[in-house]
Amino acid sequence: MAAPSARRGFSLPEDCIFCKIVRGDAPANIVNRAEGFVAIEDIAPKADVHLLVIPERHIETFRDVGELSESEAKRMLDFVAETARKAGLDEYRLMIFVGAGAGQTVFHLHWHILGGVIHGMPR
């Protein structure tokens, strides 16, 4: 595999903080879990409610969302909606930063769920 550019960002599953959380090797406040997906509280919340939805499989970026099967992709969307509902959110924002230039800092696909008052841009 060609070495990825710094601009694109890169992490191996062994070093990836979200893979560590999925494996239970790093702490996190887990708020929802389903087969293949986990939702946690963001460590540096930028809104009254700031959750992250993470596929257990290491996919670097939304650009590579095609690595999920059709049924996994559908279940991921359902899981995002379920996580927001379980958090008591009826109205909320969903965000995904795609690539370092767009503000992605953790190179393992994740959705931001932002509810209530937003205090800043997730980074």
- The footprint of ligand AMP (CB under 6 A) covers 17, 28, 40, 42-44, 52, 97, 103-106, 122-123
- 106 makes contact, choosing from ligand AMP, Zn ion, none, with CB < 5 to 8 Å by partner type, with ligand AMP
Using only the alpha carbons of the chain, give its radius of gyration: 14
In the complex, the residues that contact Zn ion under the rule CB under 5 A are 13, 16, 18-19, 58, 108
Looking at the Cβ atoms of 1 and 44, the one nearer to ligand AMP is 44
What does the DSSP 8-state code read for residue 88?
T
Looking at the Cβ atoms of 19 and 28, the one nearer to Zn ion is 19
**Residue labelled with tokens 């700031």:** 50
Strand order from edge to edge, sheet including 30-34: 30-34, 37-41, 47-55, 111-118, 92-95
Q: Active-site residue numbers? A: 110
